[in-house]
């Protein structure tokens, strides 16, 4: 693989996906092309960008990793010589009971560079307020995954994973430089915790964080928070979306990452492993 650039442009795509897969893919493609026009060579899509609908249609809407959605995005990555993080799709379960929530990294040749299945599944029950059991709808991943790409080593995660620092420390120890967090973070917890958690993951692991979120009414009975962000290894938010469908970009400086780690070598000082 050619030597990576020290500086490049990364982009987050913020969108509101629904149960029309073709429309979702058209919107995602248009946003990726907007990011490319802004100079991005790394683009991150949000969680379940290609389909979000009722549980009764999960299996019918799931695909194998090599299915038409990823093949379509692979062609897009190849056309624009792009590293593309396909937020997450519903991966067909095969012999498993439920589809996986799966993130796929595509390289500039359209090759699949990594596949990550979401490890932490969101289950919460507040009587009279909310009942969510992601574990009843999704298979659980079991592997920590990094991806070597032309723009650096990516550490992969999805949404609720953000609340579990152990995963991100494992990614950092595996050499991750850029933590990708495609999400569908909802409004109440997003307003309270989204920025705090993203900045914390950046600071404690001295990594860049690129977090693309869904926004608006989801059709699943809740409101997604939006506010996609790119955070530098010092914890500074360098790009932030507000509401609506949009693309945000920021220059990623891997030299800054090296400087932060050199001048404050916290990762070398850690004693709990």
Please list the active-site residues.
47, 118, 159
CB atoms closer than 10 angstroms to residue 90: 26
Burial class (CB in 10 A: 0-12, 13-18, 19+), 196: exposed
Identify the CA nearest to 122 among candidates 80, 161, 86, 66. Answer: 161
Phi, psi of 24 (to 5 degrees): -55, -45
Phi, psi of 35 (to 5 degrees): -65, -45
Residue 202 near residue 231 (C-beta atoms within 8 A): yes
Q: How many Å apart are CA 90 and CA 100, to the nearest integer?
A: 6
Q: How many Å apart are CA 150 and CA 109, to the nearest integer?
A: 11
In sequence order, the 6+-apart residues with CB closer than 8 A to the CB of 76 are 29, 32, 82, 84
The torsion of the CA quartet 11, 12, 13, 14, rounded to 10 degrees, works out to -150
Residue 192 near residue 164 (C-beta atoms within 8 A): no
């Amino acid at each position: 693989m050619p030597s990576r650039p020290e500086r490049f442009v990364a982009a987050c795509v913020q969108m509101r996906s629904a149960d029309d897969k073709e429309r979702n893919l058209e919107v995602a493609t248009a946003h990726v092309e907007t990011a490319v026009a802004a100079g991005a060579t790394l683009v991150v899509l949000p969680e379940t960008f290609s389909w979000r609908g009722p549980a009764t249609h999960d299996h019918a809407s799931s695909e194998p990793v090599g299915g038409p959605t990823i093949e379509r995005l692979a062609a897009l990555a190849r056309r624009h010589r792009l590293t593309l993080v396909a937020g997450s799709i519903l991966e067909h379960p095969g012999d498993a009971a439920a589809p996986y929530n799966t993130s796929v990294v595509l390289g500039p040749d359209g090759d699949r560079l990594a596949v990550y299945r979401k490890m932490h599944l969101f289950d919460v029950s507040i009587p009279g307020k909310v009942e969510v059991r992601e574990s009843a709808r999704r298979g659980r991943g079991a592997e920590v995954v990094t991806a070597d790409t032309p723009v650096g080593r990516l550490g992969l995660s999805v949404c609720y994973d953000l609340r579990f620092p152990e995963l991100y420390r494992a990614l950092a120890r595996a050499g991750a430089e850029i933590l990708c967090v495609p999400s569908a973070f909802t409004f109440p917890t997003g307003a309270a915790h989204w920025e705090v958690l993203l900045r914390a993951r950046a600071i404690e692991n001295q990594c860049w964080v690129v977090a693309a979120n869904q926004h608006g009414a989801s059709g699943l009975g809740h409101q997604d928070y939006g506010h996609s962000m790119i955070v530098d290894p010092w914890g500074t938010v360098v790009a932030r979306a507000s509401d609506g469908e949009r693309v945000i970009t920021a220059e990623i400086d891997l030299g800054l990452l090296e400087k932060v780690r050199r001048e404050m070598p916290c990762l070398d000082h850690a004693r709990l492993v």
